[in-house]
Amino acid sequence: MSTCPAPVRPLDASTAEELTIAAAKLLADHGSATSPELLAALPEASARLAETLGHALRPVDTADGLFVLRGLHLDDSEIGPTPAHWSTVGDSGALWDVVLLLVSALMGTPIAWDGQQDGRFVHNIVPSPGHENEQTGASSDVLLTPHTEDAFHPGRAHLLLLACMRNHDDIATTAASIRLTRLADEDVEELGRSVVPILPDDAYELARQFAGPPAPVPTLFDSGEGLTLRFDPAYTPREEADEAWRAAYGRLEDELARVSVAVSLRPGDVLVVDNDLVVHGRVPFQARYDGTDRWLKRASVRVEDRPTRPSAERGEHGYGQAALTAWAA
Ligand SMILES: O=C(O)CCC(=O)C(=O)O
Ligand SMILES: [Fe+2]
C-alpha cells in the first residue's frame, strides 16, 4: 500500500466511534442532514466533542497546508449506490454529511452558497453524465485544474473539507502549497498586483447574474506569516493582462505543478485543505456510471479573523455576500 503524501492525523477507534455516534444521534433527532434545527444544534454538539477531537482537528500547521483525518469507519454496503448527479442524492450517506458538519464546526463555521447544490452545506462530488469535460467537481475525463475553491468570491472558504465515501479506482485529489514553492521576489511582487479578475465557475447557477464586471484581484498576498494565494487559471482572463504579469503567472503555475502531491483518499478519510495556502484539483479518470463511482462529500469552512487575505477584500465589489449563507455559530 502506498504511503500518503499528506500528513495523516489518525483517530483511534473510540474517538472515531464517538464522532460517528454523535452524528447518528443528531440525524435521528432531526430527521435530515439539511434540517435547520440540526445546523443550529451543531455548536453545542461539536463543543461536547472538543475534548477528544480537538487535538486531531487543530489548525493546519505544516507548510504543505493540509492533512488527512483517518480512522473513521465507513461500510461500503451501507451507503447505497453512488448517485449519478448531486441533485439526486437525497439523503444518501446523510450520516456522513453530519460527520463532516461536526468536523467543520470544530474547525470553524460551515458556509453554504444559495446558488450551488441547492444551498446545501454539504456538497456531493460525483462524476455526472454530460459533465465529463467541465472544470467542476462533476467532471471526469479532464484534469480538474488546480484551483482555490470559490476563488472569485471574497467570502470564500478558509478551509475545504473532502470526505471520501467511495474511491474504488484510487482517483487522486491533487494539492499544491504556495509555501513549498520557490519564486523570485520580482514574481511575488508582480503577482501581488491587482491586474485581472477571477470569474465565477460553472457550478454557480446564480453567480453569472450579478451585475457589473468583477474587480481585478491579487494572486499572491504576503500575510506576514508567509505567502497565501488566490488562484484559478481556468476562470482567469489572463489574456487581459500585460506580458510581464502573464510570464510571472506562468512561473507560478510551473512551481505549483512541481510541488503538487496526489492524495488518493480512502473511504472514511477526511481531507482538510487550507484554501489560502493550497490549490487543489483532481486527476482525469474514466467514470463508471454504474453506482460504484468515486463519491466525495465536501464542506466549506470560514475561520474568522485570519490574517491570510488583503483587508481590501472585505470591500471588494462585484459579487454580493448575498450568495453566501453562513450559519452563525
Ligand atoms: O474531486 C476532487 O478530488 C476535488 C474536486 C474539487 O475540486 C472540489 O470538490 O472542490
Ligand atoms: Fe475544488
Cell for 121?
Answer: 452545506
* Total-model pTM: 0.94
Cell for 211?
Answer: 451585475
Percent of all residues in the chain with a pLDDT value above 70, rounded to a whole number: 91
Ligand 2 mean position to 51 CA, how many Å? 31
139 pLDDT higher than 80: yes
Using CB distances shorter than 6 Å, the residues near ligand 1 are: 125, 137, 144, 149, 162, 173, 280, 282, 296, 298
Q: Which numeric CATH code is attached to 8-306+322-326?
A: 3.60.130.10
Give the whole-angstrom CA distance, residue 328 versus residue 43.
9
267 pLDDT higher than 90: yes
270 pLDDT higher than 50: yes
Ligand 1 mean position to 276 CA, how many Å? 16
Cell for 85?
Answer: 448527479
Q: Output the pLDDT for position 329.
A: 34
Q: Output the pLDDT for position 115.
A: 79
Residue type, 72: L
Mean pLDDT of all residues in 231-242 = 95
Ligand 2 mean position to 28 CA, how many Å? 31
Ligand 1: nearest atom to the Cα of 280: 7
First to last CA, the chain: 40
Cα 43 from chain centre? 21
Element (H, E) at 124: strand 123-125
Neighbour tally for 314: CB within 10 Å: 10
Q: How confident is the model at residue 323 (pLDDT cuts 50, 70, 90)?
A: very low
Strand 278-282 vs strand 324-326: parallel, antiparallel, or unpaired?
A: unpaired
Which candidate, 110, 106, 108, 85, places its Cα nearest to that of 33? 110
Which residues in 27-108 belong to E strands, given as ranges?
66-70
Q: Output the pLDDT for position 300.
A: 97
Which candidate, 236, 214, 218, places its Cα nearest to that of 227? 218
130 pLDDT higher than 60: yes
